[in-house]
Amino acid sequence: MWTANITASWLAGFTVCLSLIVSIGAQNMYVLRQAVRGQHVQACVAWCVVSDALLIALGVLGMAQLLRSNPDLAHWLGWGGVIFLLGYGFFALWRMLAAPDATVVVDSAQVAPRGLLGVLSTLAVITLLNPHVYLDTVVLVGSIGARQEGHLKWMFVLGAACASLVWFALLSFAGQRMRAVFAHPLAWRVLDGITGVMMLTLAWWVWQGMAA
């Protein structure tokens, strides 16, 4: 019975988290881009897994309730997310239309490597200023985990962290396997175009939700 409860809590965290993060989002796109370039991939995966686990743990500990009971805080987080998504989306579209081919080809001789701090700083901004991070990991997943009893809450968090690790490891592996495809500038332009449209759509969706 004891083992069954632990397994059930772990599996609940794993399945809930995996069902939410398996989607094309700003964070996933950035990790995919770094994997294709082969720059600091393991550090990016580690950041994503640790940040997911910490945010879900905060939700389990009561952050979800805090956001629900403080609509002003949630409102300003939403506006910050809209601004971020608009900026990210327009910048991606600018890259698609204006970036010279030499800057998008995946070739270590043509693409200057970025430092670890710069890569992780950008990923941190993408993660923490995206309202969906709080809606999904803190509010939704955290609220579900908070219903677990006692120490089972932390088995739920562990299961969610395992789901995050599996997903981002698979994403980085896929990116590295797709390097031949992204050796062509057109592939990067298509990726930037998809990213830009998706980010602008998400900005509109978040704004609509705030206005409702």
Q: What is the pLDDT of residues 1-16, one digit of tens each?
A: 557 778 888 888 888 7
Specify the pLDDT at position 109.
40
pLDDT band at 165; cut points 50, 70, 90: very high
Q: Say what the pLDDT of residue 1 is.
A: 57
Contacts with 191 (C-beta within 8 Å, 6 or more apart), sequence order: 29, 32, 33, 182
Band (pLDDT 50/70/90 cuts) for residue 108 is very low
Determine the pLDDT at residue 161.
Answer: 92
Average pLDDT across the chain, whole number: 78
For the chain, how many structural domains are there in total? 1
Cβ proximity of 60 and 138 under 8 Å: no
> With helix as H, strand as E and coil as C, how does the chain read?
CHHHHHHHHHHHHHHHHHHHHCCCCHHHHHHHHHHHHCCCHHHHHHHHHHHHHHHHHHHHHHHHHHHHHCHHHHHHHHHHHHHHHHHHHHHHHHHHHHCCHHHCCCCCCCCCCCCHHHHHHHHHHHHHCCHHHHHHHHHHHHHHHHCCCCCHHHHHHHHHHHHHHHHHHHHHHHHHHCCCHHHCHHHHHHHHHHHHHHHHHHHHHHHHHHHC
Residue 187 domain boundaries: 2-211
Mean pLDDT of the 127-137 span? 76
- Residue 66 in this model has a pLDDT that exceeds 90: no
